[in-house]
Amino acid sequence: MNKRVVAGAAIAGKVGLTAALLWWLSTRVDLGDAFAALGRFDPAIVAAALLLAFLQVAIAGWRFVLVVGLCGARISQGFALRATLVGGFFSQLLVTFISGDAIRAWLLTRRGMTLGRAVEAALLDRVIGVIALTLLILVGFAQFLALLPNETLRISAILLLAAAWGAALLFLTLGRASAFCDKLLGRWPWLASLAATGRHLFADGRAAGLALALGLVIHLLSVAIFFLLFRALGLPISAWLCLAVVPMVMLITMIPVSVAGWGLREGAMVVALTGMDWPDSDILAASIAFGLMILAASLPGAILWLKLPVRPGEQPS
């Protein structure tokens, strides 16, 4: 089947599922009340949350410098920040974070890296972020499960986290046992590629540890943004409850079945907090506001893409 047809079908499927999720939310939540709640945000709170979103981008750029270093190349902090912004913009524009990773890898090739090494760097950066997220989820996972209204949702959450941890452990195992994997995985090129990527994680323990710590900070900033937005709407959420709910919701949002996580994030947040006796419309408004913050923080990437194209043949710096 033609690749363009497959890609088009995948995008159409995501758009359709996103529409279905939003329709389901409309049957549960008064959308008029939710959009009215958006108008209640204090501009100072919005500015503070947006500042945290931009801080996330800056820290992600710093982490990308470290990750590219683990892969044996060097890039400047400025280039890393630009690549992160452009990648974030394309993640929103092309409906999935995978497109953003592909753009970052492409930008690295324009800096002189081989395509294979550039893809490994983008993938490694993504995996480190996921590992950091799953570690943070463990802190409040028991509380998150207790919030869910039925056993089916609790089992689904456990299976999702187990799948994320299983993938992370496979990645780490392949990277650590590199010599063994090279011989064993010759017949499975994709596993051999994962092993080659995972190997970079052990190239410099200090740099890898710092990259993981930065990943944790990025996710904690998401918790802080949600906390600000919830409190701005008068919802008496505690920092602990926010820490228990937000990381798991962000993992659910990463499931690549909707447009940039829209619908999944809002549905998961409403369901997780349904037992708190808070207006569903306010919970939905906070989640929509969060998505708008991420979208706003990615918009400079569009300007950088148009005004500051990377020149072919430019060398890493």
Q: What does 184-248 look like in DSSP terms, one character per residue?
A: HTTT-HHHHHHHHHHHHHTS-HHHHHHHHHHHHHHHHHHHHHHHHHHHHTT----HHHHHHHHHH
For the chain, how long is the longest CA-to-CA vector? 61
Query: What pLDDT does residue 218 have?
Result: 96
317 is a domain residue: no
316 is a domain residue: no
Query: What pLDDT does residue 163 have?
Result: 93
235 is a domain residue: yes
148 is a domain residue: yes
Query: What pLDDT does residue 313 have?
Result: 46
Q: How far is CA 78 from CA 3, 43, 215, 308, in A?
A: 35, 30, 19, 12
Structural domain count, the chain: 1
315 is a domain residue: no
User: Which domain does 232 fall in, by range?
Assistant: 3-307
Average pLDDT over residues 233-244: 92
pLDDT in tens, 142-163: 999 999 988 999 999 999 999 9
Higher-pLDDT residue of 29 and 273 is 273
22 is a domain residue: yes
pLDDT in tens, 163-205: 999 988 888 877 776 555 555 555 666 566 667 777 777 778 8
Instruction: Kindly report the number of other CB atoms within 10 A of residue 120's CB atom.
Output: 26
Percent of the chain scoring above 90 in pLDDT: 36
314 is a domain residue: no
Q: What is the mean pLDDT of the chain?
A: 83
pLDDT at 76 over 60: yes
| Greatest mean pLDDT range, 22-31, 47-56, 110-119, 306-315 | 47-56
